């Protein structure tokens, strides 16, 4: 693969990528489409390797709710077994004449009523052991809900960058030459200010017989804007200093490489910096195309309308 020869010797390498130069480890992609690094960790016990808070905060809603319900069902079952083992006669209000299944069911619901502190009282504990167990269960219940409260708050107050990236990066006409362009847009009712962008080219290439990871900074026409309210097209002009200067359509098709995009911006509501990442492999780059403007004036002339569905719309504009 002679890609390295094509790289402009003037191109500025980016030594701060954090991915190292050892290419034996290269797994075909540095960064996944959703911005997470394409890395798997091993050699440490799962429980030590996992931040359970990060895990609980990051999982989808249905999974989180399922875990809560299953926890509730299982914990009540365990307590019901212990109540039953201590003796159903210590739960006042359960008739001894009923079937074992019914008695166990009532112990189960007594447990649920204790855990949630609803405590109707038609069943109530007598005797030291059962009373102590129910006192402990009520405490555990409340602490569980304390934890759940924290998790819920953590989940929805987690500062998230509600940014969408165009699915493709384009090589577009730009002045006399060409430029690499990527588009992004805020898609929710947020208010972003002070947005910064950083774009890096990453490649795993052969150098002197061994595979090496090479990273190059791709300078942008504008790498900072004050307000990120409309769509933002990141434009890397392919000048003589660009590592992409000598590459043609075929080079992108035949080689492996990756454009890493990293955005940070300040979210007014969270009052916090939020970050978003994505990457475009060479086969996600469209050569000779141009993003269409995705906003226009409203009919009454008093607003700008931003069309989120046009984020990836582009027109072909082959270069001659």
Instruction: Write out the binding residues for a copy of itself, residues 67-96 only, by CB under 8 A.
Output: 68-69, 72, 76, 92
* CA 257 – CA 259 distance, rounded (Å): 7
| CB nearer a copy of itself, residue 186 or residue 287 | 186
Instruction: Write out the binding residues for a copy of itself, residues 107-146 only, by CB under 8 A.
Output: 109, 112-114, 116-125, 128, 131-132, 134-135, 138-139, 141-143, 145-146
The helix/strand/coil state of 272 is: strand
Residue 17 within binding range of a copy of itself, rule CB under 8 A: yes
Say if strands 163-165 and 177-186 run parallel, antiparallel, or are unpaired.
Answer: antiparallel
The size of the interface with a copy of itself (CB under 8 A), counted in residues, is 123
Query: Taking contact as CB under 8 A, which single stretch among the options 78-86, 104-112, 176-184, 235-243 is the one that binds a copy of itself?
Result: 104-112
Quick note: the x/- pattern for a copy of itself over 248-277, rule CB under 8 A, is --------------x---x-xxxxxxxx-x
| CB nearer a copy of itself, residue 188 or residue 248 | 188
| Residue 286 near residue 210 (C-beta atoms within 8 A) | no
Among 229, 239, 246, 312, binds a copy of itself (CB under 8 A): 229
Task: Provide the β-strand partners of residue 204.
Answer: 213
| CB nearer a copy of itself, residue 176 or residue 309 | 309
Say if strands 169-174 and 285-287 run parallel, antiparallel, or are unpaired.
Answer: parallel
Cβ burial of 103 (10 Å; 0-12, 13-18, 19+) is buried
Residue 283 within binding range of a copy of itself, rule CB under 8 A: no
| Residue 178 near residue 319 (C-beta atoms within 8 A) | yes
Instruction: Write out the binding residues for a copy of itself, residues 156-185 only, by CB under 8 A.
Output: 156-159, 162
How many Cα atoms sit within 13 Å of 251 on the Cβ side? 15
Q: How far is the CB of 71 from a copy of itself (least distance, A)?
A: 10
Among 4, 148, 174, 251, binds a copy of itself (CB under 8 A): 148
Query: Taking contact as CB under 8 A, which single stretch among the options 78-86, 155-163, 175-183, 234-242 is the one that binds a copy of itself?
Result: 155-163
Among 6, 8, 33, 57, binds a copy of itself (CB under 8 A): 57
> If you compute the radius of gyration of the chain from its CA atoms, what whole number of angstroms results?
29
Instruction: Write out the binding residues for a copy of itself, residues 180-219 only, by CB under 8 A.
Output: 187-191, 193, 195, 198, 200
Q: How far is the CB of 320 from a copy of itself (least distance, A)?
A: 25
Q: How far is the CB of 74 from a copy of itself (least distance, A)?
A: 13
* CA 165 – CA 280 distance, rounded (Å): 10
How many Cα atoms sit within 13 Å of 208 on the Cβ side? 0
Taking Cα atoms as reference points, which of 193, 195, 170 lies closest to residue 180? 170
Query: Taking contact as CB under 8 A, which single stretch among the options 42-50, 82-90, 240-248, 282-290 is the one that binds a copy of itself?
Result: 42-50
What is the SS3 string spanning 255-298?
CCCEEEEEEEEEECCCCEEEEEEEEEEHHHEEECEEECCCEEEC
Taking Cα atoms as reference points, which of 190, 259, 279 lies closest to residue 227? 190
| Residue 267 near residue 246 (C-beta atoms within 8 A) | no
| CB nearer a copy of itself, residue 105 or residue 237 | 105
């Amino acid at each position: 693969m002679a890609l390295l020869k094509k790289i402009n010797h003037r191109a500025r390498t980016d030594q701060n990528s954090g991915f190292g130069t050892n290419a034996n480890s290269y797994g075909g992609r540095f960064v996944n489409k959703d911005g997470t690094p394409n890395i798997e960790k091993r050699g440490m016990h799962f429980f030590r390797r996992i931040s359970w808070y990060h895990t609980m905060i990051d999982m989808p809603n249905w999974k989180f709710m399922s875990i809560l319900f299953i926890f509730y069902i299982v914990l009540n079952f365990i307590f019901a077994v212990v109540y039953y083992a201590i003796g159903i006669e210590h739960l006042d209000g359960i008739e001894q004449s009923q079937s074992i299944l019914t008695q166990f069911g009532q112990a189960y619901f007594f447990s649920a009523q204790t855990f949630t502190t609803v405590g109707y009282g038609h069943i109530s504990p007598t005797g030291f052991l059962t009373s102590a167990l129910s006192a402990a269960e009520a405490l555990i219940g409340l602490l569980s809900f304390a934890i759940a409260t924290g998790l819920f708050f953590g989940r929805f107050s987690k500062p998230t960058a509600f940014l969408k990236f165009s699915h493709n990066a384009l090589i577009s006409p730009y002045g006399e030459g060409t430029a690499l362009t990527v588009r992004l847009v805020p898609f929710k009712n947020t208010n972003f200010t002070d947005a910064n962008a950083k774009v890096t080219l990453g490649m795993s290439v052969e150098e002197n017989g061994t595979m090496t990871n090479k990273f190059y900074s791709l300078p942008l026409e504008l790498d900072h804007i004050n307000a990120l309210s409309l769509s933002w097209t990141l434009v890397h002009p392919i000048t003589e200093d660009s590592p992409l200067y000598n590459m043609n359509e075929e080079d992108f098709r035949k080689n492996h490489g990756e454009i890493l995009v990293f955005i940070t911006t300040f979210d007014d509501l969270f009052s916090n910096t939020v970050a978003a990442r994505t990457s475009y492999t060479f086969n996600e780059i469209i050569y000779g195309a141009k993003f269409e403007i995705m906003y226009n004036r409203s009919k009454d002339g008093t607003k700008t309308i931003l069309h989120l569905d046009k984020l990836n719309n582009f027109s072909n504009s082959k270069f001659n």
